[in-house]
Amino acid sequence: MKQLVVFDLDGTLADSKSKLDVEMARLFDSLLAVVPTAVISGGAWPQFQAQLLAPLTPGDNLQNLSLLPTCGTQFYRYACGWQQVYCEKFTPAESQKIIASLAAASAAAGLRPERVWGEVIEDRGSQITFSALGQQAPLAEKKKWDPEAVRRKQLQSLLSTLIPEFSVHIGGATSIDVTRAGIDKGYGIGKLRDLLHIAIADMIFIGDAIFPGGNDYPAKQAGVLSIQVRDPHETKRVIEAIVACLGEPR
């Protein structure tokens, strides 16, 4: 029997930068009642608080939840409130190089949208994220900007030549995530194994970007049984099946 269920956040549990809807929050609460659960995302901690935690029911079941913002470079556990276990930040020199490279690569790729909403390049401490339309862009605009990931793959390729010493992954609908080399969701899976003492063979990973170059793919490469979903609606059906298989709350 699997001992840990691990999720991506954007595009899997919720639409990009959106809160869990009422049905998802209810299903996620029911999952926490029966099995340890984790969420790994490129998003920063405030995004986890707003999207994931705010809609959930407070209580002891949160002790079953592990949170790994910025692709596992941070780790939070619940014990009388949320406690940060670790945070692996860039040095100032690393941040400056990545930001300059993102600006250069986006210019070379001709990514100059007529309008942006909020910051385009965001330094999240342990990850730097490029969002072509800005961090606060409307979901409808994001979905139509790069539906086949052609623009993001082009940017990823350019960055891989400019900053080969870092990991570059396609993130959300308009974003690219940059971390230190070897820091990705596979790294986060390893941290879950080490800190929770659960074998990778005893985990399930669920995400919407489990394809080469996608930021969920390293979880599959780490050896986790992985389930690709198209959107949060499909994730709901997967959660229902897991809860049904595991039975009554412990």
- Domains of the chain: residue spans and CATH: 4-88+183-246 (3.40.50.1000), 92-180 (3.30.1240.20)
Q: Which H or E run contains 47?
A: helix 45-48
Q: Which two tokens stand for residue 1?
A: 């029997």
Please state at what angle helix 92-108 crosses helix 150-162, rounded to 10 degrees: 130
- Is the distance from CB of 174 to CB of 146 less than 8 angstroms? yes
The tens-digit pLDDT sequence of the chain (250 residues) is 799 999 999 999 999 889 999 999 999 999 999 999 999 998 889 999 999 999 999 999 999 999 999 888 899 999 889 999 999 899 999 999 999 999 999 999 998 898 999 999 999 888 899 999 998 999 899 999 999 989 999 999 999 999 999 989 887 889 998 988 888 899 999 999 999 999 999 999 999 989 887 889 999 999 999 999 999 999 999 999 999 998 754 4
Whole-number Å distance between alpha carbons of 176 and 54: 26
Instruction: Name the phi and psi angles at 150, rounded to 5.
Output: -65, -45
Summarised one tens digit per residue, pLDDT across range 25-44 is: 999 999 999 999 999 998 88
